[in-house]
Structure 1
Amino acid sequence: MTILNPYISFRGDARAAMEFYQQALGGDLQVMTFGDMPGMVEDEAEQKLVMHSMLTTPGGLVLMASDTPAHYEYKAPQGVSVSLSGTDEAEIRAAWDKLSDGATVTQEFGPAPWGDQFGMLTDRFGIDWMFSAGQSQA
């Protein structure tokens, strides 16, 4: 079985972002720091940065993230959105409501021309999200 999962890179905000996503989406969050793996970073100040994190929700969603240490080039996510979709409008709406806290809303969550509910935002960490709920998601 092959699985495709979003893996988001941050520059020092991975822990805060993943804890925020856990509050919004629920689930189990696992975090491994660079300090947990000796020799991964030379700068003592980077030991607490997230080397790998994984949020697994009760519904089976998996979102992963890490921090990018200073000695690596950091490329902010550009041209990619995390998409949350499904047939349960209440569930998608609840995630929208929580993730929109501190976000810049690009398109309010509401009726789309194709009949579903749809919305877009950039969350407080600069990550673009799309939300779609309706029968075309089945």
Structure 2
Amino acid sequence: MSVATTVHLNFRGQAREALEFYQSVFGGQLALVTHAQSYGTTDPREADLIGWGQVQSENGFHVMAFDVPAARPYDAGIDPLFVSVRGADENELRRYWDALAKDATIKAPLEPSAWAPLYGMLTDRFGVTWVLDIAVAYNG
């Protein structure tokens, strides 16, 4: 048996825009199911919000997201999670970084670090914090 872990991001009304943006960065297939389709929501303020969505690309990138319904409490908090994108191709990581960095807050510039040949951290315009790096073997 094998398992895969996928980050599932929660938003309040921004899931569609965020998933479309991530698809523009990483490519892949976009799937969107609205609250009306998934929960039978008839309230026009929530019917077109995302009940479930994902971007999945052939290069291994996969993220899911939804819009938390108004009846449910939601607090994004401060850095509740990091989405880590690790790879071996510097040019590919730089392309992702450049796209994600638009309207983002750079927490650590994409550059060599003490633990990786290339490492950077930013918080995108949706409040999601991304870590991009070139993976190296751990010799702990």
TM-score by length of 1: 0.91
CA distance in 1 between counterparts of 2:81 and 2:39 reads 32
Aligned residues: 136
Paired residue secondary structure (2:45): helix
> Do 1:84 and 1:132's aligned partners in 2 also have CA atoms closer than 8 Å?
yes
1:1-138 mapped onto 2 (5 Å cutoff): 1-37=2-38, 39=40, 41=41, 43-76=43-76, 78-136=79-137
Amino acid in structure 2 at the alignment position of 1:73: P
Runs of 4+ off more than 2 Å: 41-44, 134-137
RMSD, matched Cα: 1.6
Q: Which runs of 5+ in 1 are unaligned?
A: none
Q: Which runs of 5+ in 2 are unaligned?
A: none
Shift in Å at residue 86 of structure 1?
1.0
Deviates more, 1:15-24 or 1:77-86: 77-86
The percent identity for this pair of structures is 36
- Tell me the alpha carbon deviations over residues 54-100 of structure 1, each in whole angstroms, 9 at most, x when there is no partner: 10012122100000110001121533100001111111111000000
> Do 1:14 and 1:50's aligned partners in 2 also have CA atoms closer than 8 Å?
yes
TM-score by length of 2: 0.90
CA distance in 1 between counterparts of 2:8 and 2:127 reads 14
Deviates more, 1:19-28 or 1:128-137: 128-137
